Amino acid sequence: MSTELSGGLVLNRVPPVRAPVAGISDCYPIRRVYCVGRNYAAHVREMGGNEREPPFFFQKPSDSVVLDRSTVAYPAATRDFQHEVELVLAIGRAASHIAPGQAREYVYGCAVGIDLTRRDLQIAARNSGRPWEAGKSFDASAPLGVIKPLVERALPSRGAILLAVNGAVRQRGDLSEMIWSPDEIVSQLSDLYRLEPGDLVYTGTPSGVGALQRGDSVRGEIEGVGSVEIDVV
């Protein structure tokens, strides 16, 4: 039996979310958003975890991505809305079971992202053994800066990463402090899912996560990669 469908759609088709790319007018179409948990030892410790455990992956919907200089509404159902600045990898080629030494070949570029979190809902879900979606995968929870193509460069392995709220630095670290490198993250993720062009991978956050309030201006930066800014309203 054929699985092909004919005819139109009963609803207006929602266009894919797109992100700007540095230096060109064309955009990067977003398919999936993967996130890595517990990938900086100091952040693992501040969250009460065991830094020797391997990272795990969770997802956000593609339409949770909001672009640089966006306004983000303080989300419902939380009293502890927190920031996590992260290096983001933009996948450019499809593959499964990628060796760490070949990961660079499958990454189109990098950007700065912020994993916004309803921490109280995340912790309640964690403590009860339930999925994290309510704490992590809500509307506008994945701010993203401009994607910078890698061209001939290797995946970033060092460089300052920081986040400031209203001009005061809260998170400060270095990409070299990752427990699992970007190459290893791509490899491990590709063992679980077939990666496709358009997939984003948020690679974890350094220590210093904290609460945001309405009226806050937030800026994340990574040396050699770029920045992202949002205002909480």
161-197 confidence digits (pLDDT tens): 999 999 999 999 999 999 999 999 999 999 999 999 9
Backbone angle region of 215, left / alpha / beta, with phi > 0 → left and psi within -120 to 50 → alpha: left
The label of the residue with tokens 């040396």 reads: 223
Number of domains the chain contains: 1
Q: pLDDT tens digit string along 187-212? A: 999 999 999 999 999 999 999 999 99
Per-residue pLDDT at 156 exceeds 90: yes
Kindly indicate the confidence band of residue 40, based on its pLDDT and cuts at 50, 70 and 90.
confident
Examine residue 13 and state whether it is found in any structural domain, yes or no: no
- What CATH number does residue 211 fall under? 3.90.850.10
Q: Which domain holds residue 109?
A: 18-232
Examine residue 10 and state whether it is found in any structural domain, yes or no: no
Examine residue 172 and state whether it is found in any structural domain, yes or no: yes
Q: DSSP of 208-227, one letter per residue?
A: --EE--TT-EEEEEETTTEE
Examine residue 6 and state whether it is found in any structural domain, yes or no: no
Q: pLDDT tens digit string along 50-87? A: 665 777 899 999 999 999 999 999 999 999 999 999 99
Examine residue 9 and state whether it is found in any structural domain, yes or no: no
Q: What is the dihedral of CA 162, 164, 167, 168, to 10 degrees?
A: -90
Q: What is the mean pLDDT of the chain?
A: 93
Examine residue 171 and state whether it is found in any structural domain, yes or no: yes
- What is residue 202's three-state secondary structure? strand
